Structure 1
Amino acid sequence: MSKLQVSLAISDYDHVRDFVYGRVTAEGLDINFQVLPTPEIFDRATRDQEWDVCEMSLGKWTGMFSQGDDSLVPIPVFPSRVFRHSALYVKKDSGVDTLDKLRGRRVGDPDFAHTAGIYARGFLMHDVGIKLEEIEWVQAGTNKPGRHENLELNLPAAVKRVSVPDKTLDGMLLAGEIDAILSAIPPKSFIAGNPNMVRLVPNHIEVETEYFNRTGIFPIMHFVAIKRALFERNPWMAVNLYRAFEEAKDRSIARIKNMMISHLPLPWNPDNARRATAMFGADFWPYGVEPNRKTLEAFLNFTYEQGVAHRKVKLDEVFPPSVQHILKV
């Protein structure tokens, strides 16, 4: 029997690599993999839907879905997860040295629907107590000018939002035109070691650990999505894809835990895996709906209260029933 030919775009992760390069396969599928940067995947997938299956931003998808665009069907495979207390940058000695001092300030971000920003605004609102309208939000490219908001927002009336497409957040922060940057992509001055640009939360690992222990939220940035028309013709492919991604992830985690040789060029990988197990559980990078329910429900609430989602999206709407409860074999 011939296999279903599909195209799949995803970024380069160790925990998907065995699938991409054929050491793991998905039953019934002949896949043309394309490994690309995530911003390019998101742009091409949302504008032209160039692939049958692709990695997708949670924030962008939720905003689109809330406005009636259900052209992509997600499966609960989460290639990227990052705590985002580390995504806030300020000018050194500016007086903004704690999260609560962002109240009344101008904060720049590349676009309001980028997932990192949604999580960060979530903890600013719920944990620090800053209302969305107590910050003026400035939109611009982090390191390159010309970036625009690419999703229609439904911001609360009191929220101030301005776009400055001819400037960069990096330049505006150093010039004193904004007070902080909120971005998944680090400002180029920070990467270059400019001493005038620092993280607002320098001890972010400690802060993020406490945040997880208190809230149970382990931020999910991206999931994998299938074109709806293709999924509806071949509903079996969702579970088969899920199983392949799960096997590739398990093989990656086994490499991290290997004490005999170093599969990754970083010291103490097995020790880091033990610490992650103690904090997150035996499967410290879980796929599936139930192990991630708390994180996903919190995120969906954040998108609605921040005006990224035009209506409140329920978790049961997000994933098809076939992948909500997958038999472990």
Structure 2
Amino acid sequence: MSDLRLSIAIGDYDRNRPLLDGAVQIDGVDPVFMKLVPEEIFFRAFRHAEFDVCEASLSSFTLKTARGDSPYVGVPVFLSRAFRHTGIFIRTDRGIARPEDLRGKRIGCPEYQLTACVWIRAILENDYGVKPSEVTWVRGGLEQPGRAEKISIELPPEITVVPAPADRSLNEMLIDGEIDAYIGPRSPPAFEAGHPKIARLFPDPTAAASDYYRRTRIFPIMHVLCVRRSIVETQPWLPAALLKAFEQSKAVALAKLADTSATKITLPFVEEQLQAARSLMGQDFWSYGVGPNRHALEAFLQAHHSQGLSSRQLAVEELFHSSTLEAFKI
């Protein structure tokens, strides 16, 4: 009997590389890997369901699951995580000295339902009292005009989202002062180029994120692994096999990262950064599985619903195939 041939679209990350190069195998699967950027994977997955297995936006997947029309079922493999205090950028000439000053401002975002934007709005509301309804959200492409929500959304009337002009990118609008701030997973090119009037809201985002983690014990989840529902219906062993393989792949990557004989990535102070992360967050700081991530998932699902995105607040178990909710022990 031959292995199941599957298309798998994921990012080219160190934690995925042992799978990509064949060092780790997926039980019973003959994979066809595609290394793609998140925007392309998400668009193709949620517009056309093109992949058998794929990395997915946690927000888009939650939105589709709440509606009951998701072509995918989740596996608790969290391929991207990030503290999003780095993702809030401001015009320095708009009187914005602290998060509370964002009330009443026009803030650009690539999509209202973007996972990074959900987490950032949750931070602004929970930690600083700035509600999504107190801001005008300007939706559009960061670098290219014309970006729309990849999934149609219906928001409560108190939430104001307006499209950017058809011929304007958010980066251009930020430069010209047509928006007061920007939130998202990527830095505006104007900031990267050193524009004198564009800065991060948090001057020391690492300190802000560390404080956030100490208070909440949340390492925000951005992307989740998903598998086509119709395949799982005939191959119920597949979600657990994927979880096992991605866990093994991550373990190999972390072992290499901790090997001090030669630095594995082109960056100084890697050993020190790894030790700092483990001192703050524990040995398994990038955990997979539902158990160690339930608290973060519940916080996200609550924020997703309260921000008007999901029609009802999901339970964590609704996101994932039942076979991935428990594991064997020896």
Aligned pairs (5 A) from 1:1-329 = 1-164=1-164, 165-328=166-329
Q: Distance in 2 between matches of 1:158 and 1:51?
A: 36
Q: Distance in 2 between matches of 1:161 and 1:266?
A: 39
Three-state SS of the structure 2 residue aligned to 1:311 is: coil
**What letter corresponds to residue 112 of structure 1 in structure 2?**
Y
Q: Distance in 1 between matches of 2:160 and 2:35?
A: 38
Three-state SS of the structure 1 residue aligned to 2:127 is: helix
Provide the aligned C-alpha RMSD in A. 1.2
Query: Any conservation in 1 of the 2:47–2:150 contact (CA below 8 Å)?
Result: no
Q: Distance in 2 between matches of 1:103 and 1:139?
A: 17
**What letter corresponds to residue 68 of structure 2 in structure 1?**
G
Q: Distance in 2 between matches of 1:14 and 1:130?
A: 36
Three-state SS of the structure 2 residue aligned to 1:221 is: strand
Query: Any conservation in 2 of the 1:143–1:169 contact (CA below 8 Å)?
Result: yes
Q: Distance in 1 between matches of 2:87 and 2:252?
A: 29
Q: Distance in 2 between matches of 1:71 and 1:149?
A: 18
Query: Any conservation in 2 of the 1:6–1:30 contact (CA below 8 Å)?
Result: yes
Three-state SS of the structure 1 residue aligned to 2:79 is: coil
Q: Distance in 2 between matches of 1:328 and 1:205?
A: 37
Q: Distance in 1 between matches of 2:38 and 2:329?
A: 30
Query: Any conservation in 2 of the 1:154–1:309 contact (CA below 8 Å)?
Result: no
TM-score, normalised to structure 1's length? 0.97
Between stretches 36-45 and 66-75, larger displacement belongs to 66-75
Q: Distance in 2 between matches of 1:100 and 1:327?
A: 48
Q: Distance in 2 between matches of 1:298 and 1:327?
A: 27
**What letter corresponds to residue 49 of structure 2 in structure 1?**
Q
Query: Any conservation in 1 of the 2:240–2:324 contact (CA below 8 Å)?
Result: yes
Three-state SS of the structure 2 residue aligned to 1:55 is: strand
**What letter corresponds to residue 297 of structure 1 in structure 2?**
E
Three-state SS of the structure 1 residue aligned to 2:74 is: strand
Query: Any conservation in 2 of the 1:139–1:161 contact (CA below 8 Å)?
Result: yes
Task: Count residues with an aligned counterpart.
Answer: 329
Q: Distance in 2 between matches of 1:142 and 1:171?
A: 8
1:260, distance to aligned residue in structure 2 (A): 1.3
Query: Any conservation in 1 of the 2:71–2:229 contact (CA below 8 Å)?
Result: yes
**What letter corresponds to residue 76 of structure 2 in structure 1?**
P
Q: Distance in 2 between matches of 1:72 and 1:115?
A: 17
What percent of counterpart residues are identical? 39
**What letter corresponds to residue 208 of structure 1 in structure 2?**
A
Q: Distance in 1 between matches of 2:15 and 2:299?
A: 25
1:56, distance to aligned residue in structure 2 (A): 0.3
Which runs of no fewer than 5 residues in structure 1 stay unpaired?
A: none
Kindly report structure 1 stretches of 4+ aligned residues shifted beyond 6 Å: none
**What letter corresponds to residue 251 of structure 1 in structure 2?**
V
**What letter corresponds to residue 173 of structure 2 in structure 1?**
M
1:280, distance to aligned residue in structure 2 (A): 1.3
Q: Distance in 1 between matches of 2:323 and 2:118?
A: 28
Query: Any conservation in 2 of the 1:75–1:224 contact (CA below 8 Å)?
Result: yes
Deviations 1:119-167 (A, max 9, x none): 0000111111012211111111111101112222232221221112331
1:70, distance to aligned residue in structure 2 (A): 2.7
Q: Distance in 1 between matches of 2:154 and 2:291?
A: 29
Query: Any conservation in 1 of the 2:43–2:150 contact (CA below 8 Å)?
Result: no
Query: Any conservation in 2 of the 1:86–1:202 contact (CA below 8 Å)?
Result: no
Three-state SS of the structure 1 residue aligned to 2:56 is: strand
1:328, distance to aligned residue in structure 2 (A): 4.9
Between stretches 231-240 and 261-270, larger displacement belongs to 261-270
Q: Distance in 2 between matches of 1:13 and 1:4?
A: 24
